[in-house]
Amino acid sequence: MRKLQAKSALLPDGWARNVRIEIGADGRLASITPESPLEAAVETFETLLPAPSNLHSHAFQRALAGLTETRGPGDDDFWSWRERMYDFLPRLTPEDVEIIAAQLYAELAESGIAAVAEFHYLHHQADGTAYADIAEMAGRISAAAGQAGLGLTLLPVAYARSGFGGAPTHSGQIRFSNSAEDYLALWEASRACLHRADDQLGMAPHSLRAVTPEDLSTILAAGHDGPTHIHAAEQVREVEDCLAWSGQRPVEWLLEHCNINERWCLIHATQMTGTETAALAQTGAVAGLCPTTEADLGDGIFNGRQWHADGGKWGIGTDSHIGRDIAVELRQLEWSQRLLYKQRTVLADPMQSNGNAVYTGVLQGGAQALGRKSGKLEAGYWADMLAPDTEHPVLAGRSEDALLDSWIFTGSRDCISDVWSAGRHIVKDGQHIARAEIAGRYSAVMKRLLA
């Protein structure tokens, strides 16, 4: 049993003082006791918070971040960016992917993230053939999470088509395309890659353009009870193509044809009507928002004000990893709403701290989307926690909601001192415990890839 103390801690019912926290050998919180006498021999922090989860990651794209900023011959958009991403794929070996993912996960941890949902679709060799171990790449992702100490919900992705109506995949997609049957074999094999008690396995049909209704039915019939994630309504063209194919918009189609419930996470959901927004919110599903990626790709702005008013749940992902800082993602989310509606503090309730509103929102939605018992400092939950650096100039003199407001709306990753994931103390004094080793390997890989 390990013991910590916090002079202030954010508990499920609000802020509490002089909180003693005991962590069991299993990585779960054993007890939370407010108003406890401070003990000289116990490590004490000024503030402890539940640590959030990142609900959407394509880890290999960390290596591509910053390399797509040269304009093409015409207008650039998501679809032109995607072609550049496809061109990058053949260079990556399994070893590269593991090293890139470890670097990403260490960076996420340093920003305060304790767990990640990896929307994992880079399955095959460069020529499209399967590895001898069909879950080779899944194993690399798991190994990277183990090196970084980050909690992992692995979401092997089903990708069988290149467009609505069942168009065959093309050369840029051969490293991740599978038939529905081959996908299920890969999904089952991926289970053996998860070795820690807090690891989870979910499913991820990529999108309605990448699986047919028959594919989707076959995949969902496997009857898994973990999270199910799917890209939906990210782009205007995607919505237009879905209408041409089915007469329905993507979210509209999913609501009618699938049992969307609290185990589902719809990634982006940027292009929704008010009717779709209200109906999806009522299902209990999570909207998986990736604010810096959505801004980078020109996706548009999520209908956050209505989603909040309708009681919808949401969480944050970093997707293509153009941004890798939870405070920056939360800030971008709220600021996009301010720009859209020409108002301030859009996602807070009356008289509520905006920092508290977006932070408690990301805690709840992220934990739900990962199928992870986290997001609360409460006995029985995973010990996913973070300690802000209260001596940082951004946070100096701040406490409780004022500290959250200052960190999220004016700070960054360097405001974080310590992070624990399922009791694993993975960030100390602002640095990941294996930063130098992980970054050294990553630097060598990038120099080779870009030579």
Is 401 one of the annotated active-site residues of the chain? no
Which residue is associated with the tokens 């183990």? 146
Q: How far is CA 135 from CA 74, 184, 201, 230, 326, in A?
A: 39, 11, 13, 20, 30
Burial (0-12, 13-18, 19+ Cβ within 10 Å), 245: middle
CA distance linking residue 428 with residue 416, whole number of Å = 9
Is 425 one of the annotated active-site residues of the chain? no
Q: H or E segment at 440?
A: helix 435-450
Catalytic residue among 319, 325, 384, 405: 319
b/e code 351-372 from CB counts within 10 Å (16+ = b): eebbbbbbbbbbbbbbbbbbbb
List all residues 6 or more positions away from 435 whose beta carbon is below 8 Å from its beta carbon.
Answer: 106, 110
In 289-399, which residue ranges form alpha helices assigned H by DSSP?
A: 291-296, 304-309, 326-341, 354-370
Residue 91: Cβ within 10 Å count: 12
DSSP 191: G
Residue 128: Cβ within 10 Å count: 14
Residue 422: Cβ within 10 Å count: 25
DSSP 161: -
CA angle 346, 350, 351 (to 5 degrees): 115
Catalytic residue among 268, 308, 321, 392: 268
Q: Which of 379, 318, 411 is nearest to 65 (CA)?
A: 318
DSSP 307: H
Q: Which of 52, 53, 56 is nearest to 293 (CA)?
A: 56
Residues belonging to the active site: 268, 319
